[in-house]
Amino acid sequence: MRILIIEDDPAIAANLYDFLEAQGHVVDAAADGVTGLHLAVTGQFDAIVLDLGLPGMDGVTVCRKLRDDAHDDTPVLMLTARDTLDDKLEGFARGADDYLVKPFALKEVEARLTALHKRRAGRVTSRALAAGDLTFDPASLTTCFRGKDVRLPPKCIRLLQVLMTQPNRVFSRQELETEVWGQEQETSDTLRSHMHVLRRELAQAGGYDPIENVHGLGYRLVPRGGD
C-alpha cells in the first residue's frame, strides 16, 4: 500500500514510518496539517494515518477538507490522545474511517489500514469504470475495449479493474498481488501469467495492448482516446 502519515510528534512519526516501510509499504510523511493535506490531495495514497492534534490545521479540519473540498475518499485512520477521546466522535463526523487511541501497537495500525484498504477495494469492485477506450460494467462483469466485448477470466477482470481505478499510475507487482489475490500469497508467476492473458485478450480485441510493463517498478494502464 501507499501510506501517508500526518503526525507532528517526531518519535511517533518515525516509528510509524520505519515500521510500515519495513512491512513493504511505500510511505510518505508530513508533520503538519497543511503539508499533509497537500500531499494527500496531490499524491495517490491507499490509506492515511492522521493525527488529531496538529499544528496549524488540526486533523479534523484536514479530514473535512479532504472529503468536502477535494472529494477524496482515501481511507483515514485517525490517531487520538486518550484525553481527547471525545474528539473521535467529531473525527468520524468529519469523515475519518477508523481511529486508534495513543499509545497503540504498530501492528494494530497496519491491521487497521489493511482492513480499511480492503473495504475500499470492495467498493471499487462494484463501481462502473471507464479509462480512455476501456469500460467495465460491474453488473454484467463485461469489459469493453474499443467497442468490442472482451471475455476475461475473473482474476484478469479484477486485475484490469485495479489498473483502471488509476490510469497511468504504476502499480507495483506486490500491490497488484495483494489487490487481486489478497493474503493468499500467490507466486509472482501467477501474476505474470494472468497479466499475459489479460494483455493478449485486450490486444486481440482492440488492436493494441494498453498495459505497459514499467521495468523494475510494475505495470500501468495507458489507454488511448476517451469518450
| The one among 46, 51, 97, 201 contacting Ca ion by CB under 5 A | 51
CB-wise, 81 or 89, nearer to Ca ion? Answer: 81
Task: Say if CB 18 and CB 40 are below 8 A apart.
Answer: no
| The one among 15, 28, 41, 53 contacting Ca ion by CB under 5 A | 53
Q: Which residue is nearest to Ca ion (CB)?
A: 53
Task: Say if CB 88 and CB 77 are below 8 A apart.
Answer: no
Grid cell, residue 162, equals: 485495479
Our finding on whether 8 is near Ca ion (CB under 5 A) is yes
User: Please, what is the minimum distance in Å from the beta carbon of residue 54 to Ca ion?
Assistant: 6
The dihedrals phi and psi of 69, each to the nearest 5 degrees, come to -90, -45
Q: Tell me how far apart the terminal alpha carbons of the chain are, to the nearest angstrom.
A: 31
Grid cell, residue 196, equals: 499475459
Grid cell, residue 136, equals: 467495465
Dihedral angle of Cα 119, 109, 73, 120, to the nearest 10 degrees: -10
CB-wise, 59 or 95, nearer to Ca ion? Answer: 59
User: Please, what is the minimum distance in Å from the beta carbon of residue 152 to Ca ion?
Assistant: 47
User: Please, what is the minimum distance in Å from the beta carbon of residue 13 to Ca ion?
Assistant: 9
CB-wise, 51 or 179, nearer to Ca ion? Answer: 51
Which 112-151 positions form the footprint of Ca ion (CB under 5 A)?
A: none
Site of interaction with Ca ion (CB under 5 A): 8, 51, 53
